[in-house]
């Protein structure tokens, strides 16, 4: 795991966006141990496309295979 970037639909005054994405971070840590932990950003927004409440982007580095 290199980085997790999350956008959380939030009401004015709400500042707990990191807590909203804690479950996603915990799942990756449970799956891959310390390799599942990377930099993390959580950003509050007033609206997301399609009425979704959370959008999460993960950036991974893949090791092994023909090139590594």
Q: What is the pTM of this model?
A: 0.81
DSSP 67: G
How many angstroms separate the CA atoms of 15 and 24, rounded? 18
The predicted structure's pLDDT at residue 48: 97
What would the pLDDT profile of 35-63 be if each residue is shown by its tens digit? 888 999 999 999 999 999 999 999 998 88
Beta bridge partners of 40: 4
């Amino acid at each position: 795991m290199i980085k997790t970037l999350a956008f959380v639909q939030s009401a004015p005054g709400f500042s707990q966006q990191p807590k909203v994405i804690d479950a996603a971070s915990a799942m990756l840590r449970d799956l891959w141990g310390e390799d599942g932990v990377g930099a993390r950003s959580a950003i509050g927004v007033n609206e997301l496309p399609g009425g979704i409440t959370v959008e999460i982007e993960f950036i991974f580095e893949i090791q092994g295979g023909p090139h590594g």
